[in-house]
Amino acid sequence: MAKYTPEAKVGIITIIAVIAGLYFLSNMNLLRKDTGTYYQVSVLFNNVTGLMPNAEVRLNGIRVGKVADIRLAEDKAIVKLDIISDAKIRRSDTLSLSTMGVMGEKYVDIMPGDRSSPLVLDSSTPMEGHDAVGLEELGVSFNVLIKSLQGITDNLKEVTGSFSDVLGNSEGRQMLSDILVNTRNITNNISNLTGGDKSDIAEILKNISEITQSMSQTLPALMQKLDTTAGVTSEILEKDKQSISEIISSLEKIAQNLSTATENLGTITGTVSRGEGSVGKLLMEDETIDNVNQALVSLQEISGEIQNYLSKASSIETYVGYDAEYNHKAEDVKSYVNIKVVPSDEVFYLIQLVNDPYGLETYTTKIYSIDSPSGNTQYTQSEKKIENVLRFSLLYGRRITDFLYLKAGLIESFGGAGADIYLIKDKLSIGLDAWDFSNNEFDPHYKVSLDYRPNDTMFFRVGYDNIANSERRSVVFGAGLSFSDENLKYLLNLMSLGSLAN
């Protein structure tokens, strides 16, 4: 019979335990987050930023399903929803993206429509979804605002040109001064005219009234009244002859001043349009116009850069997590604090702080001399020191296929590389890592691990660590939590509301 080494026996036992565990979980229906009978509905969205697989689907605020899959269909995103059989979705219902609380995670919200419309029984015909307003739309609005500001700048340029027509040179300023003086004289003349003796005017009006009344009577009486009125009018004209002459003279001066003002305005306008005078030269020179155009182009470029930055920033996702592993050989726990930044679906950056129970090993060599009768004897001795310090990981990962990621960088303060394989809609992942290739005492550090994620936040782990080190190889068991930036915003929002309530 063939004899197996202890390492091979441990490996076989680990594989059998993993297979048995997965079989047990599948029979216990733990590989699914929800249980029951479902039917699938397809929805088309223009933008699904922030929506994740397994996100909730709510009808009238009640959870009725989850997001099963998100894919790109031509220029739109098609989202497949698993809906429980008890929830009836109709073609007239409105499906839109909403957010839990102020800054919570995204979910699909269903608002009922006409209850007489046909039911949606399968995903063969997609429904139209309504997108949420994001940072991209805010960037477009900002660009429209910049264009509006550009139009206002053009209007200000025209107004400035009009002022330059009036204030082009010393002659124009003198003309403007003459206009103001003439306007003041006109106002004084009108004041003198209306502020004099008004008794004569009242008498005239009274006589006109009497004449009107007399005309309804006999003609002789009317002629007699006209003679009387003529006499009275003659007396009035003789008395106020000087006042009437002054009024006529004032009206003549007003007409002359208005003519002069019109000529002055025409002269000023022509001066600026020809580019004469300080203001005219400033506004009509090509250099000034080019500077204004360059300033407007710069504003438009800044607007585009801001819009591009907002679009990129909205697609970056950040995950913060903590996990711990129990090492059977060391009989201690190894813990990790993780920060994962995902700028796109193809790339990720992982930062870790690791507390290893074995610590960090350092080696020192000392030379000793011993005096003996035969002469001076020297020998060397190597000493090993273990320090319990935190280790640091910084990894860059890139997606190679739909299920394979490759990563490289620092792993626990040493250079290394690895790969992650995702299966069963990313619920199951296999990790292979290798690092510390410069260790003088042991072979490089190899580790294989199997992670199971029942949901987006929690995961469980079983693995085999330090495979090449016969003194430290061991089975490890672990678990951990991972929160996205949307989850953290939601938690912070709940904490702030709780503090306000207290």
| Helix runs in 43-198, H state only | 135-166, 170-194
Handedness of CA 199, 201, 207, 209 (dihedral sign): negative
CA distance 32 to 26: 9
Confidence check: pLDDT of 233 > 70: no
Model's pTM, two decimal places? 0.39
Burial of 298 (0-12, 13-18, 19+ CB in 10 A): exposed
CB atoms within 10 A of CB 301: 10
Q: Where are the beta strands (DSSP E) in 328-403?
A: 332-342, 347-355, 360-372, 375-387, 390-399
Confidence check: pLDDT of 218 > 50: yes
Buried b (16+ CB within 10 A) or exposed e, 57-71: bbbeeeebbbbbeee
Q: Which CATH class is domain 316-360+388-501?
A: mainly beta
Q: What mean pLDDT is reported for the chain?
A: 77
**Pairing relationship of beta strands 76-84 and 445-452 according to DSSP bridges:** unpaired
Domain ranges of the chain: 1-31, 33-132, 169-275, 316-360+388-501
Residue pLDDT, tens place only, 396-421: 999 999 889 999 999 988 899 999 99
Q: pLDDT band for position 1 (50/70/90)?
A: very low
- Return the pLDDT at 79: 93
Instruction: Indicate the range of 36-50, 428-442, 464-478 predicted with least confidence.
Output: 428-442
Of 139, 84, 55, 70, the C-alpha closest to 490 is 55
Instruction: Indicate the range of 360-374, 414-428, 432-446 predicted with least confidence.
Output: 360-374
Instruction: Find tokens 């009640």 and name the residue.
Output: 62
Instruction: Indicate the range of 56-70, 381-395, 459-473 predicted with least confidence.
Output: 381-395
Q: Which is more confident, 419 or 130? A: 419
End-to-end alpha-carbon separation of the chain, Å? 72
Confidence check: pLDDT of 150 > 80: no
DSSP symbols for 277-343:
HHHHHHHHSHHHHHHHHHHHHHHHHHHHHHHHHHHHHHH-EEEEEEEEEEETTTTEEEEEEEEEEES
CB atoms within 10 A of CB 166: 18
Instruction: Indicate the range of 45-49, 134-138, 347-351 predicted with least confidence.
Output: 134-138
Of 128, 89, 133, the C-alpha closest to 111 is 89
